[in-house]
Amino acid sequence: MTITFPDGEFNMKQKREIVKENAARYKRMNKKEKGKMLTELEESTKYSRKHII
pLDDT at 1 over 60: no
Q: In 10 A of CB 21, how many CB atoms?
A: 10
What string of H, E and C letters represents the secondary structure of the chain?
CCCCCCCCCCCHHHHHHHHHHHHHHHHHCCHHHHHHHHHHHHHHHCCCHHHHC
The pLDDT, as a whole number, for residue 51 is 86
Phi then psi for residue 47, to 5 deg, are -85, 155
22-46 pLDDT, tens digit each = 888 889 999 999 999 899 888 888 8
pLDDT of residue 33: 94
| pLDDT of the residue at 20 | 87
pTM confidence score: 0.69
**pLDDT tens across 7-16, in order?**
667 788 888 8
Q: Give 31-34's long-range contacts (Cβ < 8 A, gap of 24+).
A: 33/1
